[in-house]
Amino acid sequence: MSAAAPLGSALPAPARGARRPALRRFMRHRLAMFGLAAIVILVVACAIGPYLSPYGPLTIDLRHRFQPPFLGPHLLGTDQLGRDLLVRLLLAGRISLTVGFAAMGLSTVFGVIVGLAAGFYGGWAGTALMRFVDAVLCFPQIFLLLTLAALVSPGVLTITLIVALTSWMEVARVVEGQIRSLRERDFAVAAEAIGVSDTHLMLRELLPNVMAPIVVAATLTVARAILLESYASYLGYGIQPPTPSWGNMLNNAQEYLTSAPWLAIVPGIVITLAVTGFNFLGDGLRDALDPRLDIHR
């Protein structure tokens, strides 16, 4: 028997063979590689950097107050109390990145559960759920965030929960749409015809086929979560000093915007780097995984 090549063209790419081209596409994606590098460097620096610095985050160096970057013993300068900006930046990064990843994890899990249930069971409950998601999505996320933040006392945990609470809808929508169309596909009908349980159908047959869009959405969610945390903390509704976060470093820098602009510029650059890094990574993943999302119906 010949290898029936014509059959393959319109069919889902085989899982094993397809992984390599996807990886190749991803590696060739310049911006994604840049994003990945930026993220890795940031994460590693935040994790181990503070241990390598001679300065503590609260060490006050009154002789070098307001030292501009590169013009003294402190590499990235100091603030109004002479605290080392680099160390504070890295420690703040631990908090901001943790909030970003944790919020991503929570919102992804929640979004996947909601999307899976709505897409699988459908019916009026599923429709109602998705209309609710649409309604919440229409509402500017930052208002939602600030409203919630004004109601509860801010902290690392609460801000993570709040960011997660305002970020799960997109994932839910992606998953719901995919599950609904995947259910009509032959392999799902085949499982149904066998009489497998709903859990088996959802978790073993359908969900693995939605992993690609979930990963993409999750990556973009980290970017958004970091940005949201920064907004909230910058406006004073987020993480409160003395715990440093990239957002509240900006908040603190407001007073000295003209006298010591680097206090704002340095965290600003790092936030931009982290956010664009995750966005580029997400775009790269989307492009690399796309042909697999395009599986014929």
List of residues contacting other proteins (CB under 8 A): 1-4, 7-8, 11-17, 185-187, 189-198, 200, 205, 208, 296
Nearer to other proteins, 162 or 175 (CB): 175
Min dist. Cβ of residue 189 to other proteins (A): 6
**Spatial distance between the Cα atoms of 253 and 246, rounded to a whole number of angstroms:** 11
Min dist. Cβ of residue 183 to other proteins (A): 11
Nearer to other proteins, 6 or 54 (CB): 6
Residues 6+ apart with CB under 8 A from 292: 12, 13, 18, 22, 212
Q: How many CB atoms lie within 10 A of CB 155?
A: 13
Min dist. Cβ of residue 14 to other proteins (A): 3
Min dist. Cβ of residue 150 to other proteins (A): 44
Nearer to other proteins, 198 or 255 (CB): 198
Nearer to other proteins, 47 or 211 (CB): 211
Residue 292's closest CA among 4, 6, 21?
21
Nearer to other proteins, 139 or 187 (CB): 187
Min dist. Cβ of residue 202 to other proteins (A): 13
Residue 245's closest CA among 146, 97, 107?
97
For the chain, where are the alpha helices, taking DSSP H only?
A: 5-9, 15-28, 30-52, 85-121, 123-138, 141-151, 156-165, 168-182, 186-194, 198-199, 211-234, 246-253, 262-293
